[in-house]
Each structure stands twice: as structure tokens, then as C-alpha cells.
């Protein structure tokens, strides 16, 4: 069984830490403050409530790290990884389970020896308290390293612990698809302070169509043909399936936290720029969401 250090103790960090511990992996939560050597992680699910205990350490005292799972907000990744950089084994495996794109490449430039993987999940969970979450909806988890057909040795245990988890050799396309859906739903819900379902009606529905048109253009140009062809149908399906939810970006905005807009719409616009595509509504939303905190 692999030993995992986990950065980020939000809903996803807790969900994965809980699943890995339950399956027998040794999990250490790396936290800002670690007053106790062990802490309880509690997950409320459809089948009841279950708790496990995990080791807790601070970055300074975390010991040698061979497998690092990063579940922080996108804008915290660089600092979080830097905080444990001195403890990373030369060729440590780092799995980024975060929103947005572009961070794996940035991390690889800063730490060329690291073996970096990316993941994306449709699991639904929200935080009820410190290390206490509600697992609200079951989904699937996709992990990969672009261009690597076969998973590494640690993946067997990981996929055995995490429900409906599979290896994806073309992980970039999976990440892009998630990013494309997020570009359509997250900024609109954050700017209009509405739940996802409100995007299916009226003027917001028209903006969804325009965003999808822009996202499709960029997707075609960047070579993500399946996303280009299906974005509107896929976004509408997610809007319907999550109609009652507040998007993660709306939750961040309501809580006065920074949002992940630069890693979601910002990344899309970078790619649009490379291909000379304007994407005006995405541009306007990027500016509006950036202004939400100022
Ligand atoms: O970021 C989110 O909230 C989710 O990815 C999604 C799919 C937009 C549903 O709320």
C-alpha cells in the first residue's frame, strides 16, 4: 500500500483521505496547524456516517513524501507544494486533483524531477465542519498523465480505494472537458448569484449558448473535437443534474474567497489567444468575476 500525504483538507481532500485510509493506505494530512498527531475525518453518506483517523503534520514536520495528493484550490497549489518541497523524494509522485488547467505544466517547470499526474472527479461532497463532510453524490474519478498509456504501480491501490476510478491516457481531453463545462456554468452563476438551474432559463440560457459557441471554437482550434461537438448538450446536462447546487465559484464568491477564474476561464482565454480567437463573453465574465472581490 502506498503512503499518501494530502495537501488540502476541503471536501475533496477529506473524501479521498477517508477512502484511502479505509482501504488500508497510510494517509497523512499536511495542515497549517497540527495540534494533535492524529485527527478524525468524518464522512456522512447515503449509507450512514463513518470516521477514520489520519496522521496530521505541518509542512515543516511532514517527513519524507513519496506520494502527494493535492486537493487545494487552484490558486493555492504553487505555495502548498513549495511548502513541502524540501520533503519531496527525488521522483515523488504528485497527483493534482484540482479545478482548472495549466498547473501541472507550471509545477513541472519548477520541479522537473517530479512525476506529476492529474485527476478530475464528479464526486459531489461539501464541507460540514473541520474534517467533516457530506458525500452528497456519487460520481467517478479519472486519473492520468498525458501520453502515458499504462498507470504507475501506485494506481492499483488508489483505484481500489476510490470508487469508480479509472486510468485515462488522454487526461488532457478529460480535464479540458471539465474546464469547458466550468467555463459555461461557474462564472455566470458567480456573477448572477444564482444556482446552476437558473442557467436553463431566459436571458441566462442565451448566454449559455453564446459561451458554448465560444468554448466550441477554442476547443476545435486546440484539438479537443469531442468537447467542441458536445459542449452545449453536456453543459445543459450538468446544469439539469446539478440544478439545485451552488457552483464552487459562487460559493467562493459568497464566502469572500478568491475564485479559480484565472485557472478556468483564464486558461480558456490563453488558449483562445494562441489561436487568435476573441471569445468576448468569456472575456467579459473573466473581468466581472475578478471584480467580485474588489
Ligand atoms: O465547480 C462546480 O461547482 C462543478 O464543477 C459544477 C459542475 C459546475 C457543478 O456545480
Ligand 1 pocket test, pick from 245, 253, 260 with the greatest ligand atom count within 8 Å of Cβ, gives 245
- Ligand 1, atom 3, lies closest to the CA of 247
With 0.75 as the threshold, say if the pTM is over it: yes
- Catalytic annotation on 128? no
Does the beta carbon of 242 sit less than 6 angstroms from any atom of ligand 1?
yes
User: How far does residue 186's CA lie from ligand 1's centre (Å)?
Assistant: 7
Residue 248 Cα to ligand 1 middle (Å): 6
CATH architecture for the domain at 3-169: 3-Layer(aba) Sandwich (3.40)
Look at residues 43, 47, 44, 98 and name the one whose alpha carbon lies nearest to residue 76: 98
What is the pLDDT at residue 147? 87
Kindly give the distance from the C-alpha atom of residue 113 to the centroid of ligand 1, in angstroms, as a whole number: 32
Q: Which atom of ligand 1 is nearest to the CA of 251?
A: 3
Q: Is there a contact between 143 and 167 (Cβ–Cβ < 8 Å)?
A: yes
**Ligand 1 lined by 196 (C-beta under 6 Å):** yes
Cα(214) to centroid of ligand 1, in Å? 19
Domain ranges of the chain: 3-169, 173-291
- What the block records as the C-alpha cell of 123 is 464526486
Cα 96 from Cα 74, distance rounded (Å): 9
pLDDT in tens, the chain (294 residues): 889 999 999 999 999 999 999 999 999 999 999 889 999 999 999 889 999 999 999 999 999 999 999 999 999 999 999 999 999 998 999 999 999 999 999 999 999 999 999 999 999 899 999 999 999 888 999 999 998 999 999 999 999 999 999 999 999 999 999 999 999 999 999 999 999 999 999 999 999 999 999 999 999 999 999 999 999 999 999 999 999 999 999 999 999 999 999 999 999 999 999 999 999 999 999 999 999 975
Q: Which fold has domain 173-291?
A: 1.10.1040
Measured distance CA(4)–CA(108) in Å, rounded: 20
- How far is residue 64's CA from residue 87's CA, in Å, rounded to a whole number? 5
Count of beta carbons in the 10 Å neighbourhood of residue 153 = 8
Say if strands 115-121 and 124-129 run parallel, antiparallel, or are unpaired. unpaired
Count H helices and E strands in the chain, helices first.
10, 11
Strand partners, 167: 143
Spatial CA neighbour of 179 closest among 92, 244, 104: 104
Nearest to 112 by CA among 96, 97, 90: 90
Ligand 1 contacts CB of residue 248 (under 6 A) = yes
Core vs surface per residue 160-189: b (16+ CB within 10 A) or e: ebbeebebbeebbbbbbbbbbbbbbbbbbb
Amino acid at each position: 500500500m502506498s503512503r499518501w500525504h494530502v495537501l488540502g483538507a476541503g471536501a475533496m481532500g477529506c473524501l479521498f483521505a477517508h477512502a484511502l485510509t479505509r482501504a488500508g493506505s497510510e494517509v497523512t494530512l499536511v495542515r497549517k496547524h497540527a495540534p494533535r498527531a492524529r485527527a478524525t475525518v468524518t464522512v456522512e453518506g447515503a449509507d450512514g456516517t463513518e470516521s477514520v483517523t489520519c496522521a496530521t503534520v505541518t509542512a515543516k514536520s511532514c517527513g519524507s513524501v513519496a506520494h502527494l495528493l493535492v486537493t487545494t484550490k487552484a490558486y493555492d497549489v504553487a505555495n502548498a507544494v513549495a511548502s513541502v518541497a524540501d520533503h519531496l523524494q527525488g521522483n515523488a509522485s504528485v497527483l493534482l486533483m484540482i479545478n482548472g488547467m495549466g498547473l501541472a505544466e507550471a509545477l513541472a517547470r519548477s520541479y522537473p524531477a517530479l512525476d506529476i499526474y492529474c485527476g478530475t472527479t464528479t464526486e459531489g461532497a461539501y464541507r460540514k465542519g473541520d474534517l467533516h463532510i457530506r458525500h452528497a453524490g456519487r460520481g467517478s474519478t479519472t486519473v492520468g498523465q498525458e501520453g502515458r498509456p499504462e498507470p504507475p504501480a501506485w494506481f492499483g491501490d488508489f483505484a481500489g480505494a476510490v470508487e469508480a476510478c479509472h486510468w485515462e491516457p488522454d487526461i488532457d481531453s478529460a480535464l479540458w472537458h471539465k474546464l469547458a463545462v466550468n467555463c459555461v456554468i461557474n462564472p455566470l452563476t458567480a456573477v448572477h448569484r444564482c444556482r446552476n438551474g437558473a442557467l436553463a432559463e431566459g436571458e441566462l440560457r442565451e448566454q449559455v449558448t453564446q459561451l458554448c459557441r465560444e468554448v466550441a471554437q477554442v476547443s476545435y482550434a486546440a484539438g479537443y473535437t469531442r468537447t467542441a461537438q458536445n459542449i452545449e448538450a453536456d453543459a445543459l446536462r450538468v446544469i439539469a443534474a446539478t440544478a439545485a447546487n451552488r457552483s464552487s465559484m459562487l460559493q467562493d464568491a459568497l464566502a469572500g474567497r478568491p475564485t479559480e477564474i484565472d485557472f478556468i476561464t483564464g486558461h480558456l482565454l490563453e488558449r483562445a489567444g494562441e489561436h487568435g480567437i476573441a471569445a468576448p463573453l468569456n472575456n467579459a465574465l473573466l473581468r466581472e468575476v475578478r471584480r467580485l472581490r474588489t
